[in-house]
Each structure stands twice: as C-alpha cells, then as structure tokens.
Amino acid sequence: MTWVLANLDRLLSLTLEHLYFSVIPVVLGLVLAIPIGWAAGLRPAVRAVLVNVSGLLYTVPSIALFVLMPVVLGTQIRSQVNVFAALTIYTLALLVRTVVDGLSAVPSGVVDAATAMGYGRVRRFLEVELPLAVPVIVAGLRVAAASTVSLVTVAALVGFANLGSLFTDGFQRDIPQSVVAGIVLVLLVALVLDRIIVYVGRLLTPWTRVTSRPARAVARPASPEVAP
Amino acid sequence: MIEFVGVTKRYPDGTVAVDALDLVVEAGKVTVFVGPSGCGKTTSLRMINRMIDATAGRILIDGRDITEIDPAQLRRGIGYVIQNAGLFPHRTILDNIATVPRLVGWSKTKARARAAALMEIVGLDPALAKRYPAQLSGGQQQRVGVARALAADPPILLMDEPFSAVDPVVRESLQDELLRLQSELGKTIVFVTHDIDEAIKLGDKVAVFRVGGKLAQYDEPGTLLARPADGFVDGFVGRDRGYRGLGFTFADVPLGELPTVQLGAPAAPGWRLVVDAEQRPTGWLPGGLPAEPGNVVPGGSLHDVTSGTLRSALDAALSSPSGLGVAVDAEGRVVGAIAADEVLAALDRRRAAVS
C-alpha cells in the first residue's frame, strides 16, 4: 500500500495512457467494422472472405504485429501509430464478424417492410438495420474492449508506457507490488470501459427492455352484433 | 387502376411463378388475389411495388409503366401491409406509423400528428402511442400495420396475407374494420390471401390463381360462387357454395307478423319476441311463460332489411329458436318476421326474373 501511495502520480498517468491506447483503437475499429460488415452482408462470397480474413488476423501474435507495423505502414519505429494500427486490426478482426452477425439477425420481414415503405438502401441501413443490430454489436464490442485493454499491456514491451509497464518494471526490478497494482488497474480499466459500453448500449436500445406481454388496453371492439 | 399486361415472372432455375398474367385492378375497389401456395399470388402483388421485377410483360399504374419510376419513390406512394405486420421493433407505435410521412420529408411534429390521427381511424387506443410493437397483441400490431400503410394517404394499398396470423375472432373484426375503412377511404386495394372465405368477404373482385401462376378466374364474388369457371375453381371455392352465394343475392322478402312483448307482461301461448322500449329485440320468450328476464332465450342472427341479403334473411330464420327470423331496420328496431319458406320463394322469383 505504501508503494502504491508513493507511486500514485505514476499509476494515474499510466492508467490514462492505457485508456488512451485502448479507447482509440476500439472506436476506430467499430467505425470501420460497420461499413465493412455491411459490405460483407451484400454478397455471400465477400462475406466468407471477410469473415475468414478477419478471423485469421486475430491469430497473428500481437508483439509481432507491433514490430511489423512500421514495415507495412512505413511509419517510424517509435510512432504511436503502430500501436493504434495494430490494435485497430484486432478490434476489426473481432467486430467485422459481430457486425455481420448482428445485421443478419435483423428479421427479414422487417427489412422487407422497410424496403416496401420506400427506404433507400443507405437510409434503411442507418435507420432500421443498424439500430436493430445494436444489441449484438454491443455484445461483440464488450469482448473487443476487454481484449484491447489486455493487448495494450504488450505495447509496453516495445516501448510505449502504459499499465503494462508495471509488469515489465516490476518483473525486472523485483517489485511484486508493481505487478499486482498493474493487474488490478488493468482489470479496473477493462471493467469501467465495459460498464460504459453497456450503459450506452442500453441508451440506444430502449425497446429491448419492454415486457413483451401484450398491452392491457385493447383496440376498441368493432360494433358487436346484437342478438335478440 | 393497375394493369398487368402479359406479366411473367420466371426465376433463374426455370420455375415460373407468374405466367403471362393479364388483369386489370380497378381503382377504388378491393381486388383479392386468392389461390393455393405456389400459385404466384404474392409474387404478382410484390411486382406492383417492384419488390420483385417481372421477367416479361408490363405493369401500368394509371397508364404509367412502373419500371419508369424510381422504386423507392414508387413505394412511398403505395401502402404495404404484411403478415405479422413487419413493424419496426425499435420504434414506438407512433413513430412506426409516422414512417412514410417522415420519408417523404414531413416534419417530425406533423408526421406524429398525422400518426395520432391514424391511430384514431384504425381504432387504436391513444395510450398505445408510446409503446413498442412487442408490447402489443397480434391484432393490435396488425392495426398499426394498416395505419402505417395509410399514413401518407397513398391511393393504392397492397396487403399480403395481413390477417392470416391472428386468431379467427380478431381476424373477423379486422376484416370488418377494413371494409368500414374502405367505405370511407375508397382506396385501390390489392389483397392477397389463401382463404377463399376472406376473399369472398372482402373482394369487390376476386382473382383465383392456380399453381404455376395462371389466372383461373377473375370475377365478382357472387359470380365466382354461382358460376365457377372450371373444376379447379369449383373445388377451391369449396363447400356450401350455394348457401354462401345467397350472400350476394339481394331480393325483397315479404315480412310477416311478429308478436312482441316487453318485460313484465303475463304468460301467453306461442313464442313471442322480447323487445326494449325502443322496439329493439333482446331475446325470445317461449309460450306459457311470463316475460321475466330468467325466461328469455337468446335469439339468432338479425336480418337488416336495409342492407341484408337472402343469406342473412335465411340465416335469421334458421337460427331463431322460434323458427321465425327477426327483421330490423337500420336503427335495429323490429320491423317484422321472416319465414324460411318466404326466403326460398323470393329466391325462386328472383331466378325467374333473371332468366
């Protein structure tokens, strides 16, 4: 505890760094995954390729991806862009699949009805399909956020300070308190992000929480036939 | 007016859903497409708003070829109601109904005001406005579906088996409601169903399709019942064709004397009809019993002389416990008795007059 109090400033700044490295790739990944997922839904062949490629990307070891990024992107070896790009790729790998699943779970009768009402393709996507896919996307986003928060720690190995630095530091200098504090804070960051996603998801989907019991107030009955 | 001119829909695998269909849907009338599954009735309907494009032939709306119109634009001018309503689960009832007005650019306030007015028109409790579709019963959802289709006041309404997923009692009230609405609105309605009774009840004209997308007969319901074009139509129209045909035969039936009585009267021989102070029937009193509520027997159907058909006249006679049908005026007041024999005699006279 004394160690924590003595290092409070550093812990706080590392936590903020960590949040910075986590939130941006998750948001970027989501923003990119939505149009990609939509495009994937248009043609079964495109869908198969995208889902498989994105699944494959997730299996590339993170440390390798961090090191590889400057080669692929032509960025400086010390550039933050490398971390953002690598983590965005992981988020994408998880979310493209999720977006495709979420969109294909929208009842076809509803999409049909929207088309028949006179929705154009883009507007139908934004106003009908995407909102209805939100519950599934939120579930995938929670996984992606937790995964990213954990992957960010690896970036400490290639020289970007974040809560992962507490592991490397604590290990090299034999300070177990540092490692424990790192684990607790990473969990905390993951938990906070998860709660935020759940909360925003709830704000966006009020209709999922209504009781599906038919309303008591019934339509006015048609004039009953009077029988003598 | 909607015209099908040699319209064919053939799928890439060679299946022919609709085969050289020629048909004119009259403006302001209800036209029902009916037939067994796989007869192309739904495909024909969905070609009208270009949800499906025809392989050959042309469809004209008021003389204009629909392929010349942008599909989204075309659809905004054609109301569409489907089975299970197809409501948007994430929108409130009010916003579901306001969909098309919003699409064509009305302000939110104006669209919602229109939606609220439509809830009134289709008989939905205003308290439901803020609910979501999942909170409504099937029948209520279907009403919302109809309201949504009517919201931008389109001249044409397409209805694809809209009432087949609700129970028979609700279905009947939805059908009555549709007929009432139609009598006020006078839309051009194309209605698809596999239920011949529904077709005959709702249609001004009925198109019977056979498997393979061929039109078997296109006629008024009375003609369909009286003179089916072939064995297929005869079989499809089903049992009790003669009796149901009476529903389209209008003739005057001479009314007989009907002994009436009010509650509190002493016993007397023979059946008597119990009426209230306004001469409206409340039930039958068997002979030899005083007119007390406990002795009153529920009656049969009523024959409204201003709108009734021979079917309702005959049914009134057959369903009455006394054997005498009760004829009423438009206000529901008793005007006389109907004997089954008189109905059949009226039918004979009508046959003689027509032939």
Q: What tens digit of pLDDT does each residue of B160-204 get? A: 999 888 888 889 889 999 999 999 999 999 999 999 989 999 999
Of the three residues B248, B283, B313, the one that is the final residue of a domain is B248
Residues B270 and B236 in one domain: no
B78, closest residue in chain A (CA to CA): A117
B302/A205 touch (CB, cutoff 8 Å), yes or no: no
Contact check, Cβ <8 Å, A226/B280: yes
**Tokens 């003609």, residue?**
B223
Residues of B in contact with A109 (CB under 8 A): 82-84, 86
Last residue in a domain, options B189, B216, B248: B248
pLDDT of residue B80: 95
pLDDT of A227 above 50: no
Q: Does A128 touch chain B (CB under 8 A)?
A: yes
Residue A104 covered by a domain: yes
Q: B95 and B56, same structural domain?
A: yes
Residues B15 and B43 reside in one and the same domain = yes
Give residue A48's pLDDT band: very low, low, confident or very high (50, 70, 90): confident
Are B111 and B166 in a shared domain?
A: yes
Mark whether B16 and B54 lie in a shared domain. Answer: yes
Average pLDDT over residues B42-53: 95
Residue A214 lies in a domain: no
Q: Identify the pLDDT of residue A212.
A: 57
Q: What is the pLDDT of residues B71-119, one digit of tens each?
A: 999 999 999 998 887 899 999 999 999 999 999 999 999 999 999 999 9
Tens-place pLDDT, residues A90-110: 999 899 989 999 999 999 889
Q: What is the predicted ipTM?
A: 0.79
pLDDT over 60 at A30, yes or no:
yes
Q: What is the pLDDT of residue B267?
A: 86
Given this model, what pLDDT does residue B91 score? 95
Q: How confident is the model at residue A217 (pLDDT cuts 50, 70, 90)?
A: very low
The pLDDT value given to residue A225: 39
Q: What is the CATH number of the domain that holds B346?
A: 3.10.580.10
- Read off the pLDDT of each residue in B276-283 and give the average, rounded to a whole number: 90
Q: Please, what's the largest Cα pairwise distance for chain B?
A: 79
CA-closest candidate to residue B314, choices B329, B322, B306, B302: B302
pLDDT at A32 over 90: yes
- Residue B74 domain-assigned? yes
pLDDT attached to residue B76? 93
The reply to whether residue B73 touches residue A220, judged by beta carbons under 8 angstroms, is: no
Question: Which of A106, A108, A110, A117 to probe the B interface (max B CBs under 10 A)?
Answer: A117
A219: pLDDT strictly greater than 50 = no
| Residue owning tokens 């042309």 | B58
Residue that finishes a domain, picked among B228, B248, B268: B248
- Per CB-CB distance under 8 Å, the chain A contacts of B160 are none
Domain assignment of residue A60, given as a range: 2-207
Our CA-based measurement puts residue B268 at a distance from the nearest CA of chain A, in whole angstroms, of 19
Cβ–Cβ below 8 Å for B302 and A217: no
For tokens 């949504």, name the residue: B148
Q: What is the CATH number of the domain that holds B208?
A: 3.40.50.300
Question: Is B255 contained in some domain?
Answer: no
Mean pLDDT of A7-30: 92
Assess contact for A189 and A162: CB atoms under 8 A. Answer: no
CATH of the domain at A203: 1.10.3720.10
Question: Does A221 score more than 70 pLDDT?
Answer: no
Q: Do B128 and A213 touch (CB under 8 A)?
A: no
pLDDT at res. B355:
67
* Residue B210 and residue B187 share a domain: yes
Q: Do A215 and B82 touch (CB under 8 A)?
A: no
Give the closest residue to B272 by CA, choosing from B343, B340, B342, B337: B337
The residue among B48, B76, B88 with the most chain A CBs within 10 A of its CB, best to mutate, is B88
Q: Choose between B244 and B58: higher pLDDT.
A: B58
CB contact, 8 Å: A110 with chain B?
yes
Please state the domain count of chain A.
1
CB-based contact, A220 to chain B, within 8 Å: yes
pLDDT score recorded for residue B88: 95
Ordered DSSP codes for B122-151: TT--GGGTTS-GGGS-HHHHHHHHHHHHHT
Residue B282 domain boundaries: 260-354
Q: Are residue B131 and residue B180 in the same domain, yes or no?
A: yes
The CA distance from B173 to the nearest CA of chain A, in Å, is 6
pLDDT per position as a tens digit, A132-145: 999 999 999 999 99
Higher pLDDT, B245 or B28: B28
- pLDDT above 90 as % of chain B: 60
Across the interface, do B302 and A131 touch by the CB < 8 Å criterion? no
* Residue range B145-150: mean pLDDT, rounded: 93
pLDDT of residue A213: 54
Q: How many domains does chain B have?
A: 2
**Residue A181 located in a structural domain:** yes
Do B201 and B55 sit in the same domain of this protein?
yes
Across the interface, do A116 and B75 touch by the CB < 8 Å criterion? yes
Q: For the residues A191-219, what does the mean pLDDT come to? A: 80
Residues of A in contact with B89 (CB under 8 A): 107, 110, 132, 207
Q: Which residue of B has its CA nearest to A116?
A: B75
Q: Rounded to whole angstroms, what are the CA distances from A117 to A111, A112, B101, B301? A: 10, 9, 10, 41
> What is the distance between the alpha carbons of residues B238 and B244, in angstroms, rounded to a whole number?
10
- In percent, how much of chain B has pLDDT > 70? 100
- Residue-by-residue DSSP string for B29-75: SEEEEE-STTSSHHHHHHHHTTSS--SEEEEEETTEEGGGS-HHHHH
Higher per-residue pLDDT: B265 or B78: B78
* Residue B238 shares a structural domain with residue B275: no
